[in-house]
Amino acid sequence: MTPLGFEQMYQKEWAELEGLLDHVLGRKTGDSAHRVEMSGARLAALYRRACEHLALARGRSYPSYIIDRLERMTADAHQLIYHRREFGVARVRHMMAVEFPSAVRAQWRYVAVAAAAFLLPTVLIAFLVYWRPELILSVVNSETAASFEDMYSPVVDSIGRTRAATTDWIMFGFYIRNNVSVAFQCFAGGLFAGVGTLFFLAYNGAFSGALAGYLTERGLSPTFYQFVATHSAFELTAIVLSGAAGLRIGHAMLAPGRLTRLQSLVDATRESAILLYGLTAMLVIAAAIEAFWSSATWLPPAAKYVVAAACWIAVPGYFAFQGRRRAG
């Protein structure tokens, strides 16, 4: 879509939002409070739409006058709606209910590339290692491979727990550190023109696939898959999103468009920040599930798979539909 077509398509919404903001912030009449109360829902809906339009305009490197107009509108609307609650519960609720899923949808191209870079090696290596189990030694050493068999043995007290960990709380901290480390690698790799991001996504995908293929071939699939089924909905999605944020950074460096490379990088970092906030929350959720639910041997496998199915439906549904509601 051309910048002119983009502007013409959403001009009516922008003009309406600007009119509401001018009326309230400009105090043009004496019934401002009444108008704010009556137009609050519509104002919030227009603000959410403007945030999506701003992300699209930045991602497509539209002319600065369009971006400046949208930035001015969203900044004014944000201050009007949230006032002094910038870091309060309402701010966090709005970010998770609107901004995070909207940002993921706006960056869907990067998400798709990141998902492919992660999933293709995962599937390929999983089949290769299943057919040729000795290939696991190309990924890890023999001692690590043996430790995996111990961690997912049907007779262990806690599935997936390392020998050094004595409690689920220790594993919770371990999982948070490990998950955040992987996500940071995928994001920071964007600073190397996106090549680093693609490498870390492919590497972690290959590692996951090798582990799955090896344990399946060893007959440990019942234990392994009931362990990973639930938390992987959050963990794998968060890793892909961290890769998408890294690819956005890399693209900004390679193709700044009409902006300077520095300004392009600044804009990309600002857009990616909301992804990082949201995926960090997802990684914490994944670690909690992994430590206290997935590892539990007293839970029947059927219960884990039912909850896993619900999570795998809820997570994509959240990103597909959350925050799309329009008022009026």
Please, which residues have CB within 8 angstroms of residue 33's CB and are 6 or more apart in sequence?
A: none
Q: Which amino acid is at 113?
A: V
The arithmetic mean of pLDDT across residues 72-88, rounded, is 70
First and final C-alpha spacing in the chain: 26
User: Is 158 in a helix, a strand, or coil?
Assistant: strand
The arithmetic mean of pLDDT across residues 48-53, rounded, is 88
pTM exceeding 0.85: no
Q: Where are the beta strands (DSSP E) in the chain?
A: none
**pLDDT tens digit sequence for 215-242:** 999 999 999 999 999 999 999 999 999 9
CA 105 – CA 74 distance, rounded (Å) = 18
Residue 159 phi/psi, 5-degree rounding, is -70, 135
Q: What is the pLDDT of residue 309?
A: 97
pLDDT-derived band at 164, boundaries 50, 70, 90: low
Q: What is the pLDDT of residue 27?
A: 39
Q: What is the pLDDT of residue 93?
A: 83
Residue 296 phi/psi, 5-degree rounding, is -70, 125
Q: What single-letter DSSP state applies at residue 88?
A: S
Query: pLDDT at residue 10 above 50?
Result: yes
User: Is 244 in a helix, a strand, or coil?
Assistant: helix
Q: What is the pLDDT of residue 84?
A: 45
Query: pLDDT at residue 90 above 90?
Result: no
- Give the closest residue to 71 by CA, choosing from 5, 17, 139, 112: 17
User: Is 60 in a helix, a strand, or coil?
Assistant: coil
Paired tokens of 44: 């919030």
Query: pLDDT at residue 46 above 80?
Result: yes
Average model confidence (pLDDT) across the chain: 86
Residues of the chain with pLDDT > 70: what percent? 90
**pLDDT tens digit sequence for 103-123:** 999 899 999 999 999 999 999
